[in-house]
Chain A
Amino acid sequence: MADGQRSEHESFDRRLVRKSPWIFHFNSGGCNGCDIEFVAALTPLYDVERLGAKLVASPKHADVLVVTGPVTLQVAKSLKLIYDQMPEPKYVVAIGTCACSGGIFSGGYTVLGGVEKVIPVTICVPGCPPNPKEIFRALEAIYKGEIKVAGGGCGEEQNRG
């Protein structure tokens, strides 16, 4: 879809996060593999900060919620709470196969499954763990406004420009 055809709401979203997709990072029970690759994406070699992205300490400042790992029972409510605290429009990026579907840990007695079980997901980045380049690409897609706000569900990249 060409830019001009986007609804007003969408372009508004886009403008909002245009220069500052601030990120809140949430480990929902992962093995750290995804976490360190995500953090690596922030550091000089990959450097998502050049997109204006910044790690923030409070979900109330965040536009993008990055979730890594399968959702365990212990954290499920916290995840929902954090999501609710984020202002609209918000994006949820599920990083790693675990966050996408529960991955290798599905069937564990404290594992609920993918992030989708608790909150709507905008982009899934599968991989165990995904390369920082892939993580960069996902955040870049948000930055460029190629992806519509929350609720799309895994696998359906909507409205790619």
Chain B
Amino acid sequence: MGRSRIEDKAYTEPHSIVEVASKTLSSYPHLVSVTAVHDEKEKSIELIYTFSDFRGALKNISTRIPEDKKTLPSIASVAPAASIYEQEVSELFGVAFDGNPFTGKRVLLPDCFPNDVHPLLRNVKQEDLEKVVAGCMLGEPQIYVTGSSRYSAESVILLPFGPYHPALKEPERFILVLEGETIVDVIPKIGHVHRGIEKIAEGRTFLQDLFLVERICGICSFIHSWTFTLAVEELLNVKPSKKAEYLRTMIAELERIHSHVLWIGLLGYWTGFESMFMWIWRLREKIMSLLDLLTGNRVHKSFIAFGGVRRDVTDEKLNTVAKTIAEFEKDYKKLIDEIMSYEPLVERIKGIGMYNAEHAIRLGAVGPMIRATGIPYDIRKVEPYGAYDEIDFNVVTGKGGDVFNVTMVRIKEVLESINIIRQCIEKMPRNENPVPKTLVIGVVKEGEAVARTEAPRGELFYYVKAANSRNPHRVKIRTPTLANILLAADMLKGYTLSDVPVIITSIDPCFSCMDRALVVDKNHNSVFFVDFNKLRKENKRIR
């Protein structure tokens, strides 16, 4: 039911993890996440590998490694999706994964962060981290990206792509390896907006964390707080009232519309069709006003509470929602008809960034990205939470992965969401109180729980561990963008530079160019970043 308490972990020895993982993959082909939990008392780190099939069954495999010998084999050879999850663990906990393709690179933490500080270890104290932050500014960060001679320097150009662009969100940088105009490899560097939320969450109470996790993302904000709530409710053993479930579902669907419509607008921006961007964003304001009406906020709704929602919604407001949604639907259909009959746009996105289902599964893709290939993997359907089990809706799928299909999936999902909202209003029990008596929850008994939901961008995963305390012992968040990033990087290969914006936006991230120049040293076949100021000072090519 979208959430579960972890009780049946399969334990295994660290050295046999690859074998076990590969066996598990045959019946649970989707690697959801790799969660690390530091246990100070036992002086060990527990690694939980969560697998899932496409029908909603989860399998947790756990292994423990001692604090002083933090190495184990990487499972990236059998599950390529693991590479980025393992890398995250390795930077934050200092665990070395033998055979991980990212080994030796910095993907998540800032370049100036000291190599021997692993912030998520429980014994790393806040004061120490504050010192690190203060020290970080002093030095001139200079990092080598790779010293390998994988690419013959004569023929390739390395282009840093990102992390900034005006109309976009999460900054992410991709380093593109170009041969002529064709992309041959892509190295992602994420973490520009890495704010250490998982660590901050450990230092605050459950209630404070509810507002913190909401602020992970301004676009899928409600779904973050909902997923966290699902996990905590599981630990507390409380169930919200029916009306609360319906209200939550309704807000989540409004959010999905706002997110998808925002993205469709940005697609216009990226393909050079700026009027489309303006039209669509104008239409989107209708949805924003509804969110404002229902929750009092446009972006961070702060609507959910453990065991319910924070405020009731009157029938009058529900009627307004029904009316506005109908208007929105009419305008939306008309607008989409117009846009999709504009051939230059369709031609621009058809057959760009092709991938197939098998590929998407191997790289761990989720959400519209995997559904575009025809796999009906939607957590709302396979593991219903909220009121989804009482609602009749279709899972939208496409006919094979490319930007066009991903776009069509999102376009149709908006209509499906409108349908869900309508049913929510119809079926919602009217005379119940969805607001719990108290919002504060105090001490939470020991236990671990996971929760999964379908965020606008795909499957969102939370792991929450409580240890008889007011604060969570560990909160692990696996966001859909992290799951999709490997696929995005892979989709680029073989296409030309001019396709990059369209392909990268198809999963939802952002870029533009600045900060440092990347220099290829011809004589040494090595690649490194040069600080922009240094480049300017020296005013010559660096050899």
Is A112 a contact partner of B137 (Cβ separation < 8 A)?
A: yes
Is A77 a contact partner of B217 (Cβ separation < 8 A)?
A: no
Q: A56: which B residues are within 8 A, CB to CB?
A: 166
Further 7 A-B residue pairs, CB within 8 A, beyond A33-B221, A81-B515: A27-B510, A35-B168, A35-B169, A36-B299, A44-B278, A74-B191, A109-B129
Q: A35: which B residues are within 8 A, CB to CB?
A: 168-169, 218
Is A72 a contact partner of B194 (Cβ separation < 8 A)?
A: yes
Is A37 a contact partner of B298 (Cβ separation < 8 A)?
A: yes
- Among A56, A72, A74, max chain B CB count under 10 A is at A74
Known: A35-B169, A43-B282. A27 touches B219 (CB 8 A): no
Answer whether residue B238 sits at the interface, using C-beta atoms and an 8 A cutoff: no
| Chain B: interface size category | 35 or more
Known: A73-B112, A108-B199, A109-B119. A24 touches B166 (CB 8 A): yes
The B-contacting residues of A in range 25-80, CB under 8 angstroms, are 25-27, 29-37, 39-40, 43-45, 55-57, 69-70, 72-78
| Chain A: interface size category | 35 or more
Cross-chain pairs A/B with CB under 8 angstroms, 7 sampled: A26-B164, A29-B193, A29-B195, A32-B170, A32-B217, A40-B284, A104-B215
Answer whether residue A4 sits at the interface, using C-beta atoms and an 8 A cutoff: no
Q: B262: which A residues are within 8 A, CB to CB?
A: 36
Is B199 a contact partner of A129 (Cβ separation < 8 A)?
A: no
Answer whether residue A136 sits at the interface, using C-beta atoms and an 8 A cutoff: no
Closest B residue to A107 by beta carbon equals B200
Is B133 a contact partner of A111 (Cβ separation < 8 A)?
A: yes
A160, B199: Cα distance in complex, Å: 42
- Within the complex, what minimum Cβ distance (angstroms) separates A132 from chain B? 8
Closest 9 interchain pairs by CB?
Answer: A33-B218, A32-B218, A108-B196, A73-B110, A43-B281, A74-B110, A32-B169, A109-B129, A44-B282
A43, B192: Cα distance in complex, Å: 26
Known: A55-B166, A105-B197. A39 touches B281 (CB 8 A): yes
Is B112 a contact partner of A33 (Cβ separation < 8 A)?
A: no
Question: Interface code B495-535, partner A: CB below 8 Å = 1, 0 otherwise?
Answer: 00000000000000010101100000000000000001100
A72, B111: Cα distance in complex, Å: 11
Q: B168: which A residues are within 8 A, CB to CB?
A: 35
Of B132, B167, B171, B193, which one neighbours A109 at CB under 8 angstroms?
B132
Q: B111: which A residues are within 8 A, CB to CB?
A: 74
A69, B203: Cα distance in complex, Å: 21
Is B288 a contact partner of A40 (Cβ separation < 8 A)?
A: yes
The A-contacting residues of B in range 100-131, CB under 8 angstroms, are 109-113, 119, 126, 129-130
Answer whether residue B351 sits at the interface, using C-beta atoms and an 8 A cutoff: no
